[in-house]
Amino acid sequence: MGERMARRVIVPDVVGLPFHVGRDVAAQAGVALANPDPDGPPISSLAWPGLYYIVRQDPAPGTELHEWDSVAIEVVKHGDSPDREPASPRPAPPADAAHAAPERDSYVDLTDD
């Protein structure tokens, strides 16, 4: 495979910034902020609604990346301690939650006869 053609950019320091400011700083530097869990929701959905602050980032400031590569961040809600668990999405109820009851009673005898 050939080398990537994207230009190289320097990761800015976004720790301590409100999410909406850090997102703009990152965009001006040519990188995108992302959820550290690649299977999770977009970071913007974790930092909305409300005021969230960036408490961690990876890679570190000063790292060289290809333009528009991701910088994984963790956020906490304003007023929460930075040592508190980072924000996480609220789980949605299953789509079929109203139909979760069994259609008939079942009984399994596990006694040894």
Please give the C-alpha separations between residue 55 and each of 1, 28, 42, 85, 107, in angstroms, as whole numbers: 36, 20, 17, 10, 51
CB hemisphere CA count around 113 (13 angstroms): 2
Give pLDDT, residue 4. 80
DSSP H or E segment with residue 8: strand 8-10
DSSP-based three-state secondary structure for 89 = coil
Measured on CA atoms in the order 91, 96, 101, 107, is the torsion positive or negative? negative
Nearest alpha carbon to residue 72 among 27, 23, 37:
37
Q: pLDDT value at position 76?
A: 93
pLDDT recorded at residue 98: 55
The model's pTM is 0.68
CA distance 111 to 7: 69
**How high is the mean pLDDT in each 10-residue block of the chain (113 residues)?**
84 96 97 94 90 96 97 90 55 54 62 69
The reported pLDDT for the residue numbered 69 is: 97
pLDDT at 63: 97
CATH number, span 8-79: 3.30.10.20
